[in-house]
Chains A and B, each alone.
Chain A
Amino acid sequence: MSLMIQDFSVVYRDGDHSIQAVEEATLAVKEGECLALVGESGSGKTSLGKACLGLLPQNAETTGRILLNDRYMDFSNDMALNAIRWQKIAMVFQNGAETLNPSYRIIDQVAEPVMKLAGRSRKEALHRASRALLEMGLPENCYRHYPHQLSGGQVQRSLLAMATILDPDILILDEPTSALDALNKGFVSDIIEDYKQRGKGVLLITHDLAFAVAHGDEMAVLYLGQVMETLPAREMFSNPLHPYTLALGRSYPTMGTARELGGIRGDAFYRLVHQHGRGDAAQYHHSHIQIPESAHMDGHAPPVGCLFQGRCTQTIEACRTGIVTLETVAHHRVRCLRRGIVSILSLQGISKRYDEKTALHPTDLVLKAGDLLSLVGETGSGKTTLAMIAAGVLAQDRGSRILEDRDMDEWLKKDVRSMARKVGVVYQNPAASISHRFTVLDAVAEPLAIHGLGLGKDERKEMVKSVLVDVHLSTDDTFLGRYPHELNMGALQRVCIARALILTPSLLIADEPTSALDPSVQAKVLKLLLDLQTERGLTMLFVSHDIALARKISDRMGIMLSGYLVELGRASRIISNPVHPYTKMLLEGAGGNRQQGWKVPPDGEPSKGCPFFPRCPKGKNICQEEFPSIHKSEHGWVACHFVDV
């Protein structure tokens, strides 16, 4: 009982244009598993679902094959298809109420497949229909209602009853939950779980990512008809490899998300295939990229370059021209020339001492493209030291740093400038970080001056203006001529952000960028940083002592204590389920509570053992004796002896 989709493409013909809805999708709904298809609208999810039943409209051209239980499906043979529809494969369509016939009573519609396809008598059919509706929890007095008399949830239930009435091997659910509230989603879940248990397959088409993660086994992420990534569904949020999967996950609100929603920059396009008669070169249009005329293609040829290039935040030149195929990376399949999200910064065993005091114990940290990591901790915990080492401002005593696959220390030695171009830094005090003898223009253009870029005065000014627009500042000459003391702190910090961004760095390090600002200005600056991250795909390292603030913007959070990174993980996990007692203390402190038994931090650093021991309510002898080993978990770790406590 499996459904295999092999190299399946769908093109909708419409006069001269054709729309590529699905392109060479290879997917499998395995026995007892649920395959979740996710993606923005227009990504070809529904086309793929309908194709499995041979329900595509007349103008659709398909290539590739679909195998049901290891047998090819013949879409030209209506008889054979009818034998399969509802009995082998059943589908619950999107927009439930519209797919029901308004002039038939509900129970008659549910009974219809039993009569027409299974050839049972009307009496038996009605009997089975009422039983199916009852199982779906529909009250009996509804059975004889017409569709418009039912609520959205009831319509969805009747559709499910109809789809499951012949107990098909494969159940295709197209947006089954979009009309349902959180409580009513439960019965859809029950059906999926029941089908999985009975060894049948479920193809779940949805944009409800949390639902897909909860019930899917495999997940396929579609974009403009291409499968961008296939991955185990549970890794959707925690370990996406394709930038599109990451961006999609970031746009979706789950109960676990702490940070503001990100969204994906740009808009999805339809993929049009213009054809001027047979044999002419066709041109693909997507994301405003035009394909050179030399590229000969018909509707089924792979397009030039990656489809996601216009919206992707890690596009390189090769993405515009190369041929992108699905490749196996780890246990995912990813359609990305860069083999998924690249690693921007990798710190290994970084440590730093200032004279007598150890500011940073050996610490590892990896930042992937588009990641926003917050370092949170009390003052003197080594946050800034770590951030400044990451920025290349400070040198570490031990350990290595790798920035975009290059050894940073070697890079700094060879060519400070090209290294500096990769990292932008925003400091705590905007007023002090700009020379008070610089005008706004001077300040923002300073990196250009240092790097000798945009040498023409006008050209330089244009660059400054364009980056000022990005940070929502005025670009008129009066503003450009202002001095720092004439601006308010919020505007000044924006100027600093503009200065950090003008060289389009790949890593932005913000050291308490909002602690000098009042809350309303702080909110604006944070929103700006998030927008910039969405737009430019910046990787950000955000240093803050304020965990409440950090949770609003972080993907991941690192908790620092006395030069140790004691806890690292997804921000949502740390906020909802902190493991280290110190993290709990920070969270409680942020909530304004002060729990009994918490002690004042002692002076000096303990020579051995856990640095938190003197203040820890769980402290035992072992904590005093040895530093806790690191317990690794998904994308993070905790350094505590009592992780399970």
Chain B
Amino acid sequence: MHVNLSHMLRRDPWFLTGMILTLFFLMVTFLGPFLAPFSPWNMDFVPLSPPSSTHLLGVNDGGQDIFSELLYAVRNTFFFGMISASTALFLGVLIGALAGWFGGVADLILMRLADVLLATPAIMILILVAALFRPSPHILALILAGLMWPTIGKTIRSQTLSLKQSLHVRAARQMGGGSAYVISRHLIPEMFPLYLIGFAAKARMAMFMEAALAFLGLLDPSRKSLGMMISYALQYYYMDIWWHWLFPPILCLSLLIMMVTFLAISLEKVVDPRLRVNLPGRLS
């Protein structure tokens, strides 16, 4: 099965929307500090001012420029999601491939561990850890990754098991290829589409999780975050602030999550032939 991925994806509206959003958020993330008119920690402005030409989205209750705050918050959430998702992906692929390839006791132990983690509610652990130890957001992202890898790991493992029986892997084994060779040259590249799907799903989960923790006030208050912005804005719900203070972070969070969701949906369609029927693409 060789799917002409790029060709199929270029015609998929889900993928196109997702890619446009990705580009937009990548730009915001990397150019954010330069685009921001003020420092988000600068409290020199008149609190609760409505939007104006200097303050595009107004000023919050602490006298900080909301637009600058939003740029930094998007950046933080995005990073959190990426770090967490890529770590989870790395762990999942490594553990899944090793468990599937070697089987036996290693497989048994790793998969029971995965079962335990799957049964554990990640949000509860994170809330507890964040509340008790107040770790830095990066550590939290890694902890979250440690809780999220099992779904990826299980998928990779089952795929490895089926690939192990495939002719080209058996041929490579017959030619004298060792485990390291087969895993790195045959298994890891072969499962590439699965990584995208896994990554997208985990990034979505991680970003939502970060927003939730910040909303609950469990993260460093000086660290700008979409969840925290929403939380503060909600305290002034009776004022006419929803459209310039409450709505932008909610929109950004939604778009971020939409971005990865759209990508995941389109990639899943490409990879899973059963969903591919209506896709205007081409199999070759």
Contact = CB atoms under 8 A, between A and B. Distances in A.
Interface of A: 391-393, 416-417, 419-421, 423, 425, 427, 429, 432-438, 446-447, 449-451, 483-485, 499, 503
Contact of A425 (B2, B171, B178, B185): B171
B172 interface: yes
Given A450-B181, A483-B2, A485-B2, A435 B168 contact: yes
Contact of B186 (A392, A420, A432, A435): A435
A414 to B, nearest CB: 13
A384 B168 CA distance: 17
Given A450-B181, A485-B2, A485-B284, A433 B176 contact: no
B167 interface: yes
Contacts of B190: 435, 437
A412 to B, nearest CB: 10
A438 B173 CA distance: 16
A216 to B, nearest CB: 45
B174 A393 contact: yes
Contacts of B1: 436
A419 B181 CA distance: 17
Given A484-B2, A485-B2, A485-B284, A433 B168 contact: yes
Nearest to A485: B2
A416 B176 contact: yes
Contacts of A393: 170, 173-174
B177 interface: yes
A423 B173 CA distance: 12
Interface string B159-177: 0000000111111111111
Nearest to A425: B174
Contacts of B284: 485
Contacts of B171: 425, 427, 433-434, 499
User: Top 7 nearest A-B pairs by Cβ distance?
Assistant: A420-B176, A436-B2, A432-B167, A417-B176, A485-B2, A433-B167, A435-B168
B104 interface: no
Nearest to B283: A485
Contacts of B170: 393, 427, 433
Contact of A450 (B167, B169, B176): B176
Nearest to A496: B171
Interface string B120-152: 000000000000000000000000000000000
A263 B169 CA distance: 37
B189 interface: yes
A417 B190 CA distance: 24
A391 B171 CA distance: 11
A429 B181 CA distance: 22
A432 B175 contact: no
A483 B189 CA distance: 15
A2 to B, nearest CB: 57
Nearest to B166: A432
A391 B170 CA distance: 12
20 contacts: A392-B174, A416-B178, A420-B175, A421-B176, A427-B170, A432-B167, A433-B167, A433-B168, A433-B171, A434-B168, A435-B172, A435-B190, A436-B2, A437-B189, A446-B185, A447-B175, A447-B176, A449-B185, A450-B172, A450-B176
A419 B173 CA distance: 12
Nearest to B173: A393
B176 A419 contact: yes
Contacts, number: 65
Given A437-B190, A485-B284, A446 B174 contact: no
Given A483-B2, A484-B2, A450 B168 contact: no
Nearest to A484: B2
Interface in B7-54: none
A421 B174 CA distance: 9
Question: Among the interface residues B2, B170, B174, B178, which one has the most CB atoms of the partner chain A within 10 A?
Answer: B174
A438 B2 CA distance: 11
Contacts of B169: 435
Question: Among the interface residues B1, B167, B173, B189, which one has the most CB atoms of the partner chain A within 10 A?
Answer: B167
Contacts of A434: 168, 171
Contacts of A485: 2, 284
Contacts of A450: 172, 175-178, 181
A270 B256 CA distance: 82
A105 to B, nearest CB: 74
B160 to A, nearest CB: 14
Contacts of A433: 167-168, 170-171
Contacts of B166: 432
Contacts of A446: 172, 175, 177, 185
A516 to B, nearest CB: 11
B157 to A, nearest CB: 19
A342 B53 CA distance: 93
A437 B169 CA distance: 12
A416 B182 CA distance: 14
Given A436-B1, A450-B181, A484-B2, A420 B167 contact: no
Question: Among the interface residues B175, B176, B181, B185, which one has the most CB atoms of the partner chain A within 10 A?
Answer: B175
A432 B172 CA distance: 12
Contacts of A503: 175
Contacts of B185: 435, 446, 449
Question: Among the interface residues A423, A447, A450, which one has the most CB atoms of the partner chain B within 10 A?
Answer: A450
A88 B33 CA distance: 115
Nearest to A417: B176
B1 to A, nearest CB: 7
A436 B185 CA distance: 12
Nearest to A511: B167
Interface string B260-284: 0000000000000000000000001
B167 to A, nearest CB: 4
Contact of B167 (A391, A427, A449, A451): A427
A513 to B, nearest CB: 13
A212 B265 CA distance: 77
Nearest to A433: B167
A252 to B, nearest CB: 36
Given A435-B190, A437-B190, A420 B2 contact: no
Contacts of B178: 416, 450
